Amino acid sequence: MTKATVFSIFLIILVLDKRTRNVPYDLLIKTDCEPAACTNLCTLKWKGNGACFQNVHVYSCLCTFPCQI
């Protein structure tokens, strides 16, 4: 009984860890990203968090949001 309980808890932890690693994302603005526009667009479209990042020589908007099952 003890081995089965420990094994079950271990499996639950593995599944929860796997689900939290895969964060969905969307590349919203591919060039000339402005932080305020990126944040607003991401909030409106996905209810997520948007941030500008440098992609080669341009700034792009990357939006991360909670997984909607």
pLDDT of residue 5: 65
Q: What's the domain range around 35?
A: 23-69
pLDDT of residue 43: 94
Burial 10-30 (b: 16+ CB within 10 A, else e): eeeeeeeeeeeeeeeeeebbe
Question: For the chain, how many structural domains are there in total?
Answer: 1
Q: Are 65 and 56 in contact (CB under 8 A)?
A: no
Asked, for residue 8, whether it belongs to a domain, the answer is no
pLDDT of residue 37: 93
Asked, for residue 7, whether it belongs to a domain, the answer is no
Average pLDDT over residues 5-32: 68
Tell whether the model's pLDDT for residue 68 goes beyond 60. Answer: yes
Q: Render pLDDT for 25-61 as a digit per residue (tens, 0 to 9).
A: 888 888 889 999 999 999 999 999 999 998 888 889 9
CA separation for the pair 49, 64 (Å, rounded):
5
